Amino acid sequence: MTPRQLSISVIVMLAIAIAMGVLVWRTRKTNSAIQTAQTNSAPVAPPVSGPTEQVTLYAADDDSGVLRPIAARVPLASDRQQRGEQTLQALVKFYSDKSSHHVLAEGSEIRAFYLVEPGLAVIDLNGAFANGHRSGVLVESLTIASLAKTLSANLPDITQIEFLVDGKPRETLAGHADLSGVYDVSSLNQLADQLQNGQ
């Protein structure tokens, strides 16, 4: 017959073992989460849901050849660079809608967006955006003005904009609109304002 004291000891030891197991399991889970967060250096995708903010997109209308301000609610991060990229992505997404009056090529995307130095924004378009863009003075000017005005309206302290395609400088968007240099935002806004007014 098992002595009473021995039974109590076994039960206590079992309880301790179970408690230790639970503790180890929880600690491992926490460490795994921390490690994943530390090793994942890929850019954080824009939030597809969550709190949204109102932004103004300046959308081109090919039929009338003008820019039109459109209010949209977009999930935005707090970081300025991410906000800029998310706003431009929202504009490109707007153009991808079938009802858009300024059709961009399939697969057109904002490849990257950088705030390089105070005031200078770099918009890096992907190859599909530029290579598939329709060719023409007005249609290309509308795209450039639309991107620049949308960006500057939502990040007002930007003073200069440079365009890249696939991370590299490019002469023109699709044979006409000049992408070779750095634009003053005031110059592009003047262009956008005149396109907005339909002059």
SS3 146: helix
**Binding characters for other proteins, 164-183, by CB under 8 A (x = yes):** --------x-xxxxx-xxxx
Is 68 a binding residue for other proteins by CB under 8 A? The answer is: no
Piece of 75-83, 84-92, 115-123, 132-140 that binds other proteins (CB under 8 A):
132-140
Tell which residue, 86, 27, 92, has the closest CA to residue 53: 86
SS3 8: helix
The minimum distance between CB 116 and other proteins, in angstroms, equals 16
First to last CA, the chain: 104
Which of 116, 135, 167, 169 is the binder for other proteins (CB under 8 A)? Answer: 135
Which of 62, 80, 89, 96 is the binder for other proteins (CB under 8 A)? Answer: 62
Sequence length of the chain is 199
Is 119 a binding residue for other proteins by CB under 8 A? The answer is: no
Q: CB within 8 A of 179, min separation 6: which ones?
A: 144, 163, 164, 165, 169, 170, 171, 172, 173
> Residue numbers of the site for other proteins (CB under 8 A)?
62-63, 65, 134-139, 141, 144, 160, 172, 174-178, 180-184, 186-188, 190-191, 194-195, 199
